[in-house]
Each structure stands twice: as C-alpha cells, then as structure tokens.
Amino acid sequence: MLDRDPRFRAVQSMHKTGGLKSFNDIYLIVPKTVISNRLGKKVDRFNELMSDVGKFTLDEVAFIAGLFEISVKDMTDLWLKEYAMQKENIKTVKKKALK
C-alpha cells in the first residue's frame, strides 16, 4: 500500500467528531490532487466527479473510505448527503431560471 498521508488521520478524526458534513468536505483537508492520484484519475476528471458525485462508482467511494479508514457505510452516507445537496442546488437553479 502507498505511504499513508498524515492528513488522512485528520479526515478520520473529523469524521469521528462529526466535523465532516458531506463527501466534498474531505477536500477541504486533503487536496484533490492527492485523492485523484490515489484513484488513478486525472485531476480534470476528478473535478468533474466532485461537481457531480453521482458519477462516482461505489468502488471509488469504497476506495476513498479505505484511504481514511472510514467504513464504507459511513462514507456512502457522506456521499448521499453530498448527492442530495448537489441535486437540490440543481433544482434551485432551474427554478430560478424559469422565473
């Protein structure tokens, strides 16, 4: 396994204390480039995934959970919160556009 980035422990600690509210909160602590490199994705593609988390595969979400030693269930809960927020934002933007 790759060397463990010390920021991964910070994500794990924030999760345990309830500091992570959604999937993309992780990237406030660990740069996107670090995670995208671990996933084997180009940063541009990873940015697309972050802006529409519904495009992440379950395997990718599980892999990210493993990086931070967070259960897959907990990581998917964070992912679901992010997904819901993104979908709500899309609905809000569409409603404003129709006015």
How far apart (Å, rounded) are the C-alpha atoms in residues 74 and 90? 25
Give CA–CA dist 44/73, Å, rounded.
Answer: 27
Q: What is the pTM of this model?
A: 0.85
Q: How many CB atoms lie within 10 A of CB 35?
A: 23
Task: Delimit the domains of the chain by residue range.
Answer: 6-98
Q: How confident is the model at residue 1 (pLDDT cuts 50, 70, 90)?
A: very low
Q: Which of 21, 6, 17 is nearest to 67 (CA)?
A: 6
Digit-coded pLDDT (tens) for 26-71 = 999 999 999 999 999 999 999 999 999 999 999 999 999 999 999 9
Q: Residue 54 has which token pair?
A: 């519904």
- Tokens 């794990």 sit on residue: 12
